[in-house]
């Protein structure tokens, strides 16, 4: 794993449908403070979960990420931060750092799950600076993708 000193904070620009090999797939778009963008391809249910938080929508029944956050809160635990810190064979790896009574513990998790949970608790989303730099895209490429809202 990489050192925490090489991590930078990003925000979530949104969830968008991007064209990969002739088919549209959802991607969560990370944005740094300079406005550079980096997509992470995610599943449909994770796209719905992340998009609902970004749009400040409440589902009629709790989604999996809502349940996880409620459980953590009732157990007196909070999400300290999430880290997207490795990429192996084109797969991103992330860690969810939880804090209870000043003690931290980390869990291996998919980046999409980490992002969905972090957004629900306003926890910082961090990424390895080198991964972001290597995988960021230019604005022109981004403008060709459609918001997931266009497909609802």
Q: What is the mean pLDDT of residues 5-16?
A: 94
Which region, left, alpha or beta, applies to residue 95 given φ > 0 means left and ψ of -120 to 50 means alpha? beta
Domain holding 69, by residue range, is 4-151
How long is the chain? 152
More confident site: 139 or 96: 96
The confidence score (pLDDT) of residue 2 equals 45
Mean pLDDT of the chain: 90
Q: Give me the CATH number covering residue 129.
A: 3.10.690.10
The confidence score (pLDDT) of residue 124 equals 98
The confidence score (pLDDT) of residue 112 equals 97
Is the model's pLDDT at 3 over the cut of 60?
no
Tokens for 152? 């609802």
Which of 130, 134, 127 minimizes the C-alpha distance to 111? Answer: 127
Per-residue model confidence as pLDDT tens digits over 43-102:
999 999 999 999 999 888 889 999 999 999 999 999 999 999 999 999 999 999 999 999
User: How many domains, in total, are found in the chain?
Assistant: 1
């Amino acid at each position: 794993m990489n050192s925490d000193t090489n991590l930078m904070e990003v925000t979530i620009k949104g969830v968008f449908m991007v064209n990969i090999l002739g088919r549209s797939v959802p991607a969560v778009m990370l944005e740094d403070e300079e406005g550079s963008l980096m997509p992470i391809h995610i599943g449909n249910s994770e796209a719905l979960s992340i998009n609902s938080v970004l749009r400040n929508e409440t589902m009629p029944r709790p989604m999996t990420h809502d349940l996880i956050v409620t459980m953590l809160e009732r157990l007196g635990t909070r999400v300290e931060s999430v880290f997207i810190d490795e990429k192996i064979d084109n797969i991103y790896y992330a860690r969810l750092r939880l804090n209870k009574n000043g003690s931290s513990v980390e869990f291996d998790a998919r980046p999409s799950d980490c992002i969905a949970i972090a957004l629900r608790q306003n926890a910082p989303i961090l990424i390895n600076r080198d991964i972001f730099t290597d995988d960021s895209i230019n604005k022109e490429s981004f403008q060709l993708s459609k918001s997931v809202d266009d497909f609802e």
